[in-house]
Amino acid sequence: MSRFLVLIYGDDEKWSQRTEAEREQVDAAHRAFQAAGSILASGELDDPAQARTIRSVSGGRPVVTDGPFAEFKEVLGGYYEIEAVDIDAAVERAAGLYENREEHAWVEVRPLVAH
């Protein structure tokens, strides 16, 4: 079995405008996704404004800035680390995520390097 990172992106404004009922619908869909198994780890990321970005400047000294480095409307909102036999199986598994039904969101599947 190989490991894959499933990254969930979407429009941060649209996520924050969800009603309580809409949030519960998404949460229920994620609970069902998790119940199907093969999840090694998962998490929902906090508000991008809470992030800090560390970049090196000339001279090798790190500089810390508030928020994500790139200013985009779409942000990384959460992730799953899953096991699957290959990338096609991982994509098939990730296709079941609720966010694939929303126009403002998308899911990326990336293989993890085996060590």
Amino acid making up residue 97: L
Q: CA nearest 109: which of 98, 101, 84? A: 84
What pLDDT is recorded for position 8? Answer: 94
d(C-alpha 96, C-alpha 66), whole Å: 34
Question: Which structural domain, as residue segments, surrounds residue 27?
Answer: 2-111
What pLDDT is recorded for position 70? Answer: 62
CATH number for the domain that contains residue 32: 3.30.70.1060
d(C-alpha 12, C-alpha 64), whole Å: 22
> What pLDDT digit, counting tens, does each position of 25-51 carry?
999 999 999 999 899 999 998 888 888
What pLDDT is recorded for position 71? Answer: 61
What pLDDT is recorded for position 61? Answer: 85
What pLDDT is recorded for position 5? Answer: 97
Consecutive 10-residue runs of the chain (115 residues): their mean pLDDT?
94 87 93 93 88 81 77 82 96 94 92 90
User: Per the structure, how many domains does the chain have?
Assistant: 1
107 burial level (CB within 10 Å; 0-12, 13-18, 19+): buried
Residues in the chain: 115
